[in-house]
């Protein structure tokens, strides 16, 4: 392997080392370890923490009516957990699919070309991985809104009764809920109507980064994880819930990791989910394993060598010596031939008869 690498380094333009095996499965020489957003490995997506937080929560319809976040928090936590789980499944499937493909190379690749080729392939796989998930997810959201399905939380539509006297029988109607007093956004017209999330009882306290709206899923996607980076915000949630506040320790997300993260605390959950919560695909490639699979038996190369003065002098001397031998053989014969030609013409001149007229 070292000899082949040296040849490729010294004669990079012309070196050719044919592979005995031109199609090599990627899993023979690379390992991939995906890393996900830290929310997916935090206590906030566990059933234990969610169940303890909402253990004594009741009268949900009341909290829906007054727009209190207590009506949404359980659904939001379940949805985040589901998004994380589905993202992990999708990414692992993408990794398995990528590893099952083959690297096709007729010639042994140099180390630089080898790593560059793999990085390009992995980058393409990472870009394509969310595509299927995002399309299916968006289709489900569109169908849900298009069918006008009423949320079990009653957050998009509500029942109202009307009675027109003197009639005794009341009419039960379904009425669209309105969010955002400034724009009067109707859930019947769109599922993305939002209000800032807040606890409204006993006092109004806004929760940073979080929203409520027509559907818990849509309001969560428009939210951020800012609150989960802030211990004061987490304490605010715990203090307004009625569950056991002391059993499960809920540490805030590590904001020091933000500098190495693809996402800021104020990145919307929709954008993070669209990237399948991926932080990084760590790839470890082994060139020595690739070389073993390629198994080149021979390497061919060509080069142009510039003649040195010694070589030039030797060549000229050799040429001079060759000319000497040739001339030594031909010179006597050329002289002899010249004399014969001269004698021939002299004899011919003597035999000429010149007539004289008297």
Reply yes or no on whether the pLDDT at 9 is more than 60: no
Confidence at residue 15, expressed as pLDDT on a 0 to 100 scale: 62
Q: What is the mean pLDDT of residues 106-132?
A: 89
Q: What is the mean pLDDT of residues 88-93?
A: 94
300 vs 305: CA distance, rounded Å: 16
Reply yes or no on whether the pLDDT at 283 is more than 60: yes
Average pLDDT, the chain: 82
Cβ density class 250-262: b for 16+ within 10 Å, e for less:
bebbeeeeeeebe
Longest dimension (CA), the chain: 176
Cβ–Cβ under 8 Å, residues 80 and 39: yes
Residue 97: which pLDDT band, with cuts at 50, 70 and 90? very high
Reply yes or no on whether the pLDDT at 324 is more than 80: no
Half-sphere exposure of 211 (CA within 13 A, CB side): 21
Confidence at residue 11, expressed as pLDDT on a 0 to 100 scale: 43
Tokens representing residue 170 in the block: 């009341």
Confidence at residue 349, expressed as pLDDT on a 0 to 100 scale: 63
Per the model's pLDDT, the better-predicted residue between 344 and 152 turns out to be: 152
Domain residue spans of the chain = 2-147+215-294, 316-351
Tokens representing residue 259 in the block: 């500098």
DSSP state of 301: -
Confidence at residue 47, expressed as pLDDT on a 0 to 100 scale: 92
Name the range with the highest mean pLDDT among 281-285, 307-311, 330-334: 281-285
Confidence at residue 329, expressed as pLDDT on a 0 to 100 scale: 66
Residue 305: which pLDDT band, with cuts at 50, 70 and 90? low
Confidence at residue 348, expressed as pLDDT on a 0 to 100 scale: 66
278 vs 134: CA distance, rounded Å: 14
Q: What is the mean pLDDT of residues 28-52?
A: 93
DSSP E strands in the chain: the ranges are 23-25, 30-36, 102-104, 157-162, 171-176, 178-179, 185-186, 194-199, 205-213, 278-285
**pLDDT above 90 as % of the chain:** 37
Q: What is the mean pLDDT of residues 12-23?
A: 73
Reply yes or no on whether the pLDDT at 358 is more than 50: no
The answer to which of 53-57, 79-83, 120-124, 282-286 has the lowest mean pLDDT is 53-57
Tokens representing residue 30 in the block: 């690379």
| SS3 assignment, position 331 | helix
316 vs 322: CA distance, rounded Å: 10
Cβ–Cβ under 8 Å, residues 24 and 272: no
Reply yes or no on whether the pLDDT at 308 is more than 80: no
DSSP of 149-215:
PPPTT-SSEEEEEE--TT--SPEEEEEE-EE-TTTTEETTT-TT-EEEEEE-SSS-EEEEEEEEESS
Cβ–Cβ under 8 Å, residues 155 and 71: yes
Confidence at residue 58, expressed as pLDDT on a 0 to 100 scale: 75
Confidence at residue 182, expressed as pLDDT on a 0 to 100 scale: 82
DSSP state of 144: H
Sorted by sequence, the CB contacts under 8 Å of residue 159 that are 6+ apart come out as: 172, 173, 174, 175
The answer to which of 120-134, 258-272, 328-342 has the lowest mean pLDDT is 328-342
3-state helix, strand, coil in the chain (%, to 5): 50, 15, 35
182 vs 80: CA distance, rounded Å: 29
- pLDDT by residue (tens digit) across 342-355? 777 777 666 555 55
Cβ–Cβ under 8 Å, residues 149 and 176: no
> 343, 340, 337: which is closest to 351 by C-alpha?
343
Q: What is the mean pLDDT of residues 292-299?
A: 80
- pLDDT by residue (tens digit) across 156-170? 888 787 766 666 667
Residue 318: which pLDDT band, with cuts at 50, 70 and 90? low
Cβ–Cβ under 8 Å, residues 134 and 274: yes
Confidence at residue 63, expressed as pLDDT on a 0 to 100 scale: 80
Q: Could you give phi then psi for residue 280, rounded to 5 degrees?
A: -160, 150
| SS3 assignment, position 147 | coil
- pLDDT by residue (tens digit) across 202-253? 889 999 999 999 999 999 999 999 999 999 999 999 888 865 555 667 788 9
């Amino acid at each position: 392997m070292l000899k082949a690498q040296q040849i490729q380094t010294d004669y990079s333009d012309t070196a050719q080392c044919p592979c005995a095996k031109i199609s090599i499965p990627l899993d023979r020489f690379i390992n991939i370890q995906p890393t996900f957003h830290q929310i997916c490995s935090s206590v906030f997506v566990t059933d234990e923490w969610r169940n303890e937080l909402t253990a004594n929560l009741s009268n949900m319809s009341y909290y829906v009516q007054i727009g209190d976040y207590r009506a949404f928090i359980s659904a939001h936590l379940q949805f985040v957990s589901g998004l994380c789980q589905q993202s992990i499944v999708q990414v692992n499937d993408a990794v398995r699919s990528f590893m099952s493909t083959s690297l096709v190379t007729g010639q042994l690749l140099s180390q630089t070309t080898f790593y560059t080729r793999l990085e390009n392939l992995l980058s393409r796989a990472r870009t394509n991985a969310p595509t299927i998930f995002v399309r299916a997810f968006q289709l489900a959201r569109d169908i849900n809104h298009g069918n006008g399905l009423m949320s079990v939380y009653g957050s998009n539509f509500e029942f109202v009764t009307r009675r027109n006297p003197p009639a005794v029988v009341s009419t039960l109607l379904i009425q669209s809920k309105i969010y955002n007093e400034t724009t009067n956004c109707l859930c019947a017209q769109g599922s993305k109507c939002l209000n800032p999330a807040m606890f409204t009882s006993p006092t109004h306290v806004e929760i940073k980064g979080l929203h409520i709206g027509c559907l818990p899923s849509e309001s969560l996607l428009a939210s951020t994880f800012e609150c989960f980076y802030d211990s004061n915000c987490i304490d605010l949630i715990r203090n307004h819930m009625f569950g056991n506040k002391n059993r499960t320790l809920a540490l805030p997300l590590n904001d020091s990791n933000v500098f190495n993260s693809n996402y800021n605390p104020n990145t919307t959950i929709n954008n993070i989910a669209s990237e399948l919560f991926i932080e990084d695909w760590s790839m470890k490639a082994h060139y020595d394993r690739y070389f073993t699979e390629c198994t080149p038996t021979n390497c061919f190369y060509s080069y142009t060598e510039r003649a040195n003065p010694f070589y030039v002098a030797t060549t000229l001397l050799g040429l001079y010596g060759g000319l000497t031998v040739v001339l030594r053989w031909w010179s006597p014969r050329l002289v002899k031939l010249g004399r014969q030609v001269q004698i021939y013409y002299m004899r011919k001149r003597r035999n000429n008869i010149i007539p004289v007229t008297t």
